[in-house]
Structure 1
């Protein structure tokens, strides 16, 4: 059934009014709509990308009704999902099998297909992003035919198509390499930012999961270090009380933060002072929880984001250049930079393909125009060979991207072969791959 809709992404940076918005309930319906839809077809998940990567002006397709587990290989711990399954529902689906996703990011509204297709990731040098854990997928091509790919039968082709931002077809099933369920012991502390950067790689290698949030205009940052353990393993650290969780994540992490941003919007000169108060108030938290309960935090304050993956060894120097730029320009930035890491993988268009990476994410509040700031920070990231997250703001086009990915031209050739009429195209995708 057609659903009239104006599509807006989560941050409000993208708005479009497709003439048709469809939510098929079966794979056969996906095949039918591809064969019969007028004009181009763009798949969209949660709308959590900050770019127009999922936006379309003709037909947009959302797979929320294609959700759940298709099959479980308990011996190999591989789980096949319908592609519209949201990350937030995965823990409950896997719990009866004693399994979990190997890693997660800090938000979970995305669909599995969207997270995989945009090279979404968490943090931890022992782990890849979502795309690196894909063992098989199925998509509907421009002719409405189902195509199946797997690590067992055609690994090179699977690795070429896994991150495709919907340019090759509509992904309908994704098989993921899962792991035994695990808990996390979380440690959250404040530290001197220069010391954190000086010891970045050492600290990242010494922890299962390591990340940092730095508020501009301050000399301190918050470190988050997570340690994995079996659910039945004894540990002296217990669960965080519900009241403390509410205090940390809702009252402070969202409520007080939103209030500080509102004051900063009215009085920009107050932002450095507010940031210093925030970092001075950082508490030392240690608590235990389920993996998804620790990885994921509510993000109710909306923002715009640019994130690049740079080679791990170069990351701290790039962050220092960004800090110097902020100081020189006199910008007032109330949102923190987020710093994370991942292992290298062999997925062709993964932002960590072939190298361990530090991810540097810059944010500004939703009410701030990000372009003046991002336009000056981006060259610093690019000069280090940085690769932009496919779902976050950047200005790169095909010629730029071809210099960053060894298999980029091979992907573009495959896209041309599979969809010469740009059935799954848009002006934005033509900029990336045309």
Structure 2
């Protein structure tokens, strides 16, 4: 990725842009001046985060805002922690540790900035836990008029600003409701796909954090169940060397080699998948929460994820499996299945319903036409089930389709009209998904 005024590319290689200027403000006042000046000349401002979105949500053709100089802790007030917006998720555990605090839930990637994560609806898994945006109790942002505004808990606009797609302003700080630090006991085990599917709704109800991965072209799945435990529980399980072998050498280095082979010779992908499925093993370990939630992801990919009603997950994934078999796609990446609690945020994929998530991936060097056709086939299935796309991942829906899937869609547009009346933060993606 580059952000030097020349060509910028995102991590997955799905988007690029050539901004006219890259601004690196150091505080809210500098952001406000930048936005006001850009608005006065009729330009556009887009914050870029860490470039981990696969969609075009952060593409900037005019002024790209790099918040890397706006990182770190602002203040701690009990369990309320205010962070500067450019702080990366991987930096937060170290910031919280002296206060005995942790984030209530995380996804399995921590390269994103906190502003980017909440703006795209990033989430983990756990039926009693919402996405990262549900942990937000306040934000400070610069609106399209160059005004610095704080939106706190109790203000109805927070239901928009906590997951705002970058459409309301440039976030400068974010307050999270944190929890006492805790550990996790992780149990990973191979399973037959039908067993993983048939037991999914029960397992997510009975386990703090449950998910599974299905390996296309096989009947093999890997289940992951994490149970919250006391923070002072001793670390146990495979040593750091064994976990390095499992998580880095096998899951990244060797997996990357196999994906590259599959991209060059697609016919071998099913055989590789069968080999990988048979090699799955069980392991149990305990560690602090952030060490268990997060996994290393070095092999680059393209990703689409849709949210459907929880009870529909088994049927939807079986349809995806039949589609792969029928169209003879060669898919080297596993499909990830997770769950989350319902919430009331205006544009959350879990708004108003307990939600299951199905994420599909293709290796970044797979044939683009074949990958695009695969994603289109998956999207057709998701649309038939009223699926809601992850805002930071690939999808083709527009405002007309999305309005019917989000009961508070028009409420969000009303907030947007107040915060950014002249569309200083617009780009092609926002014009498509929000209309204009």
Tell me the TM-score normalised to structure 2 length. 0.96
Determine the structure 1 residue equivalent to 2:157: 157
Deviation sequence 1:221-277 (CA, Å, 0-9, x none): 00011111112246xx71431111111111110111111112212221111111111
Unaligned runs of at least 5 residues, structure 1: none
User: Does structure 2 retain, via aligned residues, the 8 Å contact 1:188–1:224?
Assistant: yes
Structure 2 residue 115 is matched with structure 1 residue 143? no
For residue 414 of structure 1, report the CA deviation from its aligned partner: 2.2
Aligned to 1:66: 70
Aligned-partner SS, 1:318 = helix
Partner in structure 2 of residue 305 of structure 1: 303
Deviations 1:85-114 (A, max 9, x none): 100000000000000000000010101111
Quote the residue 1:282 is aligned against: 280
Partner residue, 2:193: 193
Shift of 1:3: 4.2
DSSP 3-state at the match of 2:412:
helix
Query: Is the aligned partner of 1:105 residue 2:103?
Result: no
Matched, 1:122 2:124: yes
How many pairs are equivalent? 427
User: What does residue range 47-86 of structure 1 map to in structure 2 within 5 Å?
Assistant: 47-74=51-78, 77-86=79-88
Contact 1:120-1:131 at 8 Å conserved across structures:
yes
2:202 aligned with 1:202: yes
Q: Distance in 2 between matches of 1:399 and 1:123?
A: 29
The 3-state SS of whatever aligns with 1:71 is strand
How far apart are residue 6 of structure 1 and its match?
1.7
Inter-partner Cα distance in structure 2 for 1:300 and 1:3 = 23
Residues 161, 411 of structure 1: 8 Å contact kept: no
Match of 1:318 in 2: 316
In structure 1, distance between residues paired with 2:356 and 2:58: 26
Tell me if the contact between 2:27 and 2:172 (Cα under 8 Å) persists in the aligned partners.
Answer: no
Distance in 1 (alpha carbons) for counterparts of 2:408 and 2:318: 31
Contact 1:123 1:211 in 2 (8 A): yes
Which residue of structure 1 lines up, in the alignment, with residue 378 of structure 2?
Answer: 377
From the superposition, tell whether residues 241 and 41 of structure 1 become closer, same or farther in structure 2 (CA, over 3 Å).
same
Provide the rounded CA distance (Å) in 2 between the counterparts of 1:86 and 1:259: 29
Residue 5 of structure 1, CA deviation: 3.3
Which stretch has the larger CA shift, 238-247 or 177-186? Answer: 238-247
1:14 Cα offset (Å):
0.5
Match of 1:167, SS state, is: coil
Matches within 5 A, 1:4-403: 4-37=5-38, 39-74=43-78, 77-152=79-154, 154=155, 156-233=156-233, 238-368=236-366, 369=368, 370-403=371-404
